[in-house]
Amino acid sequence: MSNQKINITIDDVKAELERRKYNKIDYWFPDTGPFARENYKKHIKFLEDSATNRECALMAANRIGKSECAAYAVSCHLTGRYPKWWTGRVFNKPINWLVAGETGKLVRDSIQLKLLGPPNDIGSGMIPKDCIIGKPRPKAGTPDAVDVVYIRHKTGGQSLLQFQSYDQGRTAFQATERDGIELDEEPPLDIYSECLIRTMTTNGLVLSTFTPLKGVSETVLALQDKAEKGLCSLTIATWDDAPHLTEKDKADLMASLPPHQRDARTKGVPALGSGAVFQISEADISCNPFEIPKHFKRLYGFDVGWNNTACAWGAYDAEADVIYVTHTYKRGQAEPATHAQAIKERGDWILGAIDPASRGRAQADGEQLIALYRGQGLNLILADNAVEAGIFDMYERMATGRLKVFSTCFEFFAEYRLYRRDEKGKIVKQNDHVMDAARYMVRSIIGAGVVNVKREDPYAKANKRVGWMG
């Protein structure tokens, strides 16, 4: 072992700190240490998935470094300075890239700051100082905000980086083709769709990073649907995916959060929202599926419509007085025979409680829907459609642990996150078909006795308050 003394001066330290300050891209996600890549698996997945997905979204908790992760990806693409470990999308030429956020001020104070550094120290952000060409062009109307800046690509050409905001409207995103777009915080669906169009001919990337404070919005629903079909990458990251957050950090942050935002800000789960009908965490009502005992009573709620028809199956443990939502069904624009077949596959012996308003709806052949569905072999009674009473019953049971939902009931939870009242206290009648079906089921279980219906005569007692088959 050598005993040779290494002389490091104050000037050496200052020079190294200066180099790191203006070359942050070279020090992110190292091989070892507390910030090593292996400790940030969700962040790395978001980066790597761009190799095979044109759309990549990181729906994440606050303070986990999602915007920094996006800034790192954008910087690598603009400069061509990818690390040796990089397995995501690679651009081998200068590119045209757009970054956007909710407002010009928020863009300036968030993603612009992370990419370029503060206005008085351009180059101290994620993009290396020696890659920034000239002085950024300012954006009119917002002090210190940048419109366009040119970035030196390692091939020798110039990449273009532009900043915009959602409040400029969809038209501001039109016309120009882009190699990539990064959306910092959740965009409206129309702007997200426009970004897909702007990157279509280039086979470009659309990256989005946000905390889902708007609940299960149209954008979230679209991303979830695409992800389920394998059409995009949707990564959900929680506080547990950010080891730089200490337990004290988490406790201090949690204490400052309103209850309806905690799941969104800590787990990346869409927020319930201040107008949510049921301000109870999903974790408090969700349970793992189990084989339903034969002595549990069974019934499903049935909400009928052309745009959406939905069912919610329930199982009642009379001894514990607990109702379980075990399965859900939701499909739009299908004939009664299609819905009926799907329902019977769950068990044609199970009694259904159908929306009584269905009596007044007619199909093209003029038959009443209830009669039509009975003709398809469904065993139906009329549901109790007392809206506020039904909501109270569900809420009271949720709050006392007597209404549980199988974690596999995805349609239920998707609507649960959106189920809300407007400013006048009225239920918003959108994306609520499974919720209505669940309410019919709960009210029918509560209001009916345990009385079997004769299967051979499914029509006779349709309008009586009867129970369900066991």
Catalytic residues: 185
User: Given the DSSP bridges, would you call strands 322-331 and 286-287 parallel, antiparallel or unpaired?
Assistant: unpaired
Q: Identify whether the C-beta of residue 300 lies closer than 8 Å to the C-beta of residue 437.
A: yes
The Cα–Cα gap between 190 and 167 comes to 12
Parallel, antiparallel, or unpaired for β 403-406 and 322-331?
parallel
Residues 6 or more apart in contact with residue 343 via CB below 8 angstroms: 300, 302, 311, 329, 352, 378
Tokens at residue 287, please? 């349970």
Helix or strand or coil: residue 129?
Answer: helix
In single-letter form, the type of residue at position 442 comes to V
Nearest to 216 by CA among 225, 203, 206, 229: 225
* Alpha-helix runs per DSSP H in 96-202: 104-107, 113-116, 189-198
Exposed / middle / buried, residue 324 (Cβ in 10 Å: 0-12, 13-18, 19+): buried
| Phi, psi (rounded to 5 degrees) for 95 | -130, 165
Cβ–Cβ under 8 Å, residues 246 and 95: no
Residues 6+ apart with CB under 8 A from 464: 381
Q: CA-to-CA distance for 301 and 157, rounded, in angstroms? A: 63
Tell me how far apart the alpha carbons of residues 158 and 150 are, in angstroms, rounded to a whole number: 6
**DSSP tag of 112:** I
> CB within 8 A of 188, min separation 6: which ones?
166, 218, 219
Closest CA to 83 of 156, 154, 14, 151: 154
Chain center to CA of 200: 23
DSSP 3-state helix, strand, coil percentages of the chain (rounded to 5)? Answer: 35, 20, 45
Q: How many residues does the chain have?
A: 470
DSSP E strand boundaries for 378-465? 380-382, 403-406
* Amino acid, single-letter form, for residue 121: D
Q: Which helix (H) or strand (E) holds 338?
A: helix 336-345
Q: Can you tell me the distance from the alpha carbon of 195 to that of 61, in angstroms, rounded to the nearest whole number?
A: 24
